[in-house]
């Protein structure tokens, strides 16, 4: 969603810092969590469950804000998109990032597959390599939607659809 919004707001070229921030920020998070905090969180299922419920609540609030956002065609043009540091930092408060990271660590970190540093570095690099092309598609999608979302009604329908999709994604966190 952050990449789609960056693409719609500023186009592909000016949205690239956001793409790099999401990809590298999440890759760094994946590395650090797998290397350090991952074992602690996974050994304490109550902490993981609290993180999941807090994340779900945050996403539902965000979905509501997106679905009820007011705006006309001029709103799409306002301000630059979120930059590299903002996008990278957002990963640390994004409950989906924590869920993906905890899931990857719990599923793929293996005691007999080499040191924790090498495995964690592999997780982080693999995420960056996978996220760049897939994130680029979301950025391009947003840039393409900019033309379609020229009218207030189209923006309203799009906002409601994005809010509903985000709210529906909460199911994957709580299941």
Kindly tell me if the per-residue pLDDT of 73 is higher than 50.
no
Give φ, ψ of 67 to 5 degrees.
-65, -30
Residue 99 belongs to some domain of the structure: yes
Mean pLDDT across 80-100: 83
Domain ranges, residue 87: 2-51+73-150
Closest listed residue to residue 94, CA positions, set 84, 106, 86: 86
Residue 62 belongs to some domain of the structure: no
Mean pLDDT across 34-61: 72
Residue 30 belongs to some domain of the structure: yes
C-alpha torsion 90→54→117→119, nearest 10: -100
Residue 9 belongs to some domain of the structure: yes
Any residues with CB less than 8 A from the CB of 73 and at least 6 apart, and which? 149, 150, 151, 152, 155
What total of structural domains would you count in the chain?
Answer: 1
Mean pLDDT across 49-61: 74
Residue 56 belongs to some domain of the structure: no
Dump pLDDT digits (tens) for 146-166: 778 778 888 788 778 878 887
Residue 175 belongs to some domain of the structure: no
Residue 43 belongs to some domain of the structure: yes
Residue 142 belongs to some domain of the structure: yes
The burial class, CB within 10 Å (0-12 / 13-18 / 19+), for 26 is: buried
- pLDDT at position 31 is 92
- pLDDT at position 38 is 57
């Amino acid at each position: 969603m952050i990449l789609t919004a960056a693409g719609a707001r500023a186009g592909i070229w000016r949205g690239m810092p956001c793409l790099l921030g999401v990809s590298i920020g999440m890759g760094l998070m994946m590395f650090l969590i797998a290397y350090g905090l991952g074992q602690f969180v996974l050994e304490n299922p109550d902490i993981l469950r609290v993180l999941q419920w807090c994340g779900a609540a945050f996403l539902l609030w965000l979905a509501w804000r997106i679905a009820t956002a007011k705006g006309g065609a001029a709103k799409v043009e306002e301000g630059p998109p979120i930059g590299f540091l903002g996008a990278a930092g957002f990963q640390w408060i994004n409950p989906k990032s924590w869920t993906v990271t905890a899931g990857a660590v719990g599923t793929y970190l293996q005691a007999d597959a080499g040191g924790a540093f090498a495995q964690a570095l592999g997780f982080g690099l693999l995420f960056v390599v996978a996220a760049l092309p897939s994130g680029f598609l979301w950025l391009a999608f947003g840039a393409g939607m900019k033309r379609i979302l020229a009218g207030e009604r189209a923006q309203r329908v799009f906002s409601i659809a994005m809010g509903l999709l985000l709210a529906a994604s909460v199911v994957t966190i709580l299941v």
